[in-house]
Amino acid sequence: MTAIPYSLTARHKGFNRAEIVDQNFTEFVQLWQGDVQAPHGGHSPVLPGSTLDAQGFRELLESQLISRHLDLMARVLRVQNKVFYTIGSSGHEGNAMVARLTRHTDPAFLHYRSGGFMAERFRKLPGMDPVMDSALSFAASMEDPASGGRHKVWGSKPLWVLPQTSTIASHLPKALGTAVAIEQARRIGHKLPIPEDSIAICSFGDASSNHATAQTAFNAAAWTAYQKLPAPVLYVCEDNGIGISVKTPSGWVANNFRHRADLDYFYADGLDLANGYAQVQEAVEHCRTTRRPTFLHLRTTRVMGHAGTDFEIEWRSVEELFAVEATDPLLRSAEIALSSGLYTKESLLALYEATRKRCFEAAEDADRRPRLSTLDQVMKPLAPYTPAAVKAEAERADYQDRRLAAFGSEEKLPENQPPRHLAIQIGQALHDIMAKYPESLLFGEDVAMKGGVYTVTKGLHKTFKGSRVFNTLLDETIILGLAQGYANMGMLPLPEIQYLAYFHNACDQIRGEAASLQFFSNDQYRNPIVMRVASLGYQKGFGGHFHNDNSIAALRDIPGLVVGCPSRGDDAATMLRTMTALAKVDGRVCAYLEPIALYMTKDLYEAGDGQWQFGYPAPGEAMTLGEGRVYNDEANDLVVFTFGNGVPMSLRAARTIEAELGWKVRVVDLRWLAPLNDAFIAAQAQSAKRIIVLDEGRKSAGVGEGIITAIVEGGCGGTPLERVVGADTYTPLAGAALLVLPGDADVVAAARKLA
């Protein structure tokens, strides 16, 4: 490649590197003196030996220039508060080749340096404008078609680019999940929203490839391929050799991935369109035809720093910056353009400046468009809820033939059986749900033949077979990544997290990914999930912290997540129906907390009384989101607010309190923990003479704090109140666990204090 000239001003340490990169291109073209080929047709190779034709090169070059000038525009207009994002794609423009060689129906999960990819993918459908759409996103305009002004994202509903926000590897598991789902659909007879031979594309940087979430995705991809299960995911590692300011050791990515079994490695030069095109093409075709996970190591560079606030001159030498800027892929593209005879110096610079003008004009236009200005506008897509439609779906019972097939006969239908305990009725409800929704899948650790650690899912594998009920790796991150992939492809995933403590290992798959998708896509993309979690404390003879985790704060903190916790079997069935309806109708992500200690509980007051077993609610019955259950609703001497294990505990304590103090006690089972029904709580508190809030979680950041806030804000702050709550500690083993968790006696003691 022709040497890059540098002006003396460019050597000044304080000079704006974006201006230098911009100037380098112009000077390179002006001073270029290489040989020129005779002009040739659009289908001729752009250079001898290249598989890229002239027309393809022209379009890729234009996509590269759009990406570059969007970056340059952002650096200029950010200081004028006209755009709000400066993490650029400069140096990564070669990813446009990946877009050109794939389809717009190949779901794409992109990291933030994907301007070239997006500009090229926009060509796949007529009438779309990559410049204006991107400018609206940079400007945080409400008219941004990707996120509605909520974030600068690369995304497009018609182009199957699911929005990501500054992702650092967290999108890799769901990309694998989507690839697996493409193949799973065929096995369960589900019609995909995309062609059956689609692949999932996922891009990330060399630094992100070291992240634990990335490594778990690579491991799961290889594990899948090892078992000869198709998983057509194209992992594109865009290796620019640096993560913000931390350099990747030379050769690290190649040495780390080149010899991994069942993760097929390909290398491509993303700095050279003529040379890299065939290399990218080989990787794409391999992934599509073999249906195997494929790792494309794409060589890139990073010019203009990590973002607009990254003044590289403060931590890199001028000589090093010069060397990096000399690898700018646009300079190589300019050389190809000139040497192939496709452009003259004048026509190439004219295109360069016309693209600049187009980007700046679009940005100025976008700046004049409306931005989000009210809280309602911001939150509108976060947690959609259409009560009438959800109720109708939850109560829909038009699948009787499939029910009879699942349960075996009319006599074996659960509503025709005697009252049963929680674990049995959850299992029955899951049979019901899977009969109702043929697109539903249940998966997790040990859920298949074994039926789960507590046999809650017993029989499901036999009834619905391994294509719909199956075991996964011991990896919660992948379980939730799979769930998102299945949801992306129109299925209804019912993932199981074996214990609540295990959820914390993978929390970001719900917090940062699943629950944020509707928000950052302006409700264009949804991933309906009902996550089952064996939860809470009070297990006897087993446990310690990891099997008696009472921390719900990490779930309740996730915007838009629905969290429910049934304490009895009939509630478990009707709640599950409503959660699946919320998922199907409104695309909601739900967490269904199953109290482990109540799984097998049959008695309430004395051994053998059978008072914690209930009849199974027939299809057609469902529980409204936010609806609580009230025991002894006329009583007002004392009202106890609680959930989960606290419900039978409070009912037992109420007997003692009534006998000892003569009070009539009302027990309120909230059932829904997020969002809390503040109006319901306040209404129950209005007539209370005294209040106890029983929260089996920890004192700090527990559900109880939300209950008390609802009581106070509902105007009942003057009512005498006591809180009974767990200690701020991990749960120890054996009988010591009961020292840190509230019990019946603690509720009675709180009532005595109120007396």
Tokens of 728: 């701020």
Give helix then strand counts, H and E, for the chain: 28, 21
Do 275 and 246 touch, CB atoms closer than 8 A?
no
547 is catalytic: yes
Whether omega before 230 lies within 30 degrees of 0, making that bond cis, reads no
Tokens of 753: 């204090």
Do 447 and 469 touch, CB atoms closer than 8 A?
yes
How many angstroms separate the CA atoms of 75 and 303, rounded? 13
Tokens 């391929």 appear where? 225
Q: How far is CA 471 from the centre of its chain?
A: 21
**What is the DSSP code string of 178-237?**
HHHHHHHHHHHTPPPSS-TT--EEEEEETTGGGSHHHHHHHHHHHHHHHTT----EEEEE
How many angstroms separate the CA atoms of 687 and 704, rounded? 19
Closest CA to 38 of 346, 333, 342: 342
Tokens of 24: 């380098």
DSSP H helical ranges for 505-629: 507-508, 517-520, 553-556, 569-586
How many angstroms separate the CA atoms of 335 and 1, rounded? 7
Reading phi first (left if > 0) and then psi (alpha if -120 to 50, else beta), residue 317 is in: beta
Strands 691-698 and 672-674: unpaired
The 3-state DSSP composition of the chain as helix, strand, coil percent (nearest 5) reads 45, 15, 40
Reading phi first (left if > 0) and then psi (alpha if -120 to 50, else beta), residue 734 is in: left
Q: Is 667 helix (H, G, I), strand (E, B) or coil?
A: strand
Out of 92, 190, 431, 547, which one is annotated catalytic?
Answer: 547
Closest CA to 198 of 621, 490, 524, 591: 490
Strands 154-156 and 108-109: unpaired
How many angstroms separate the CA atoms of 429 and 446, rounded? 19
How many angstroms separate the CA atoms of 338 and 322, rounded? 23
Strand partners, 493: 441
Q: Which active-site residues does the annotation give?
A: 547
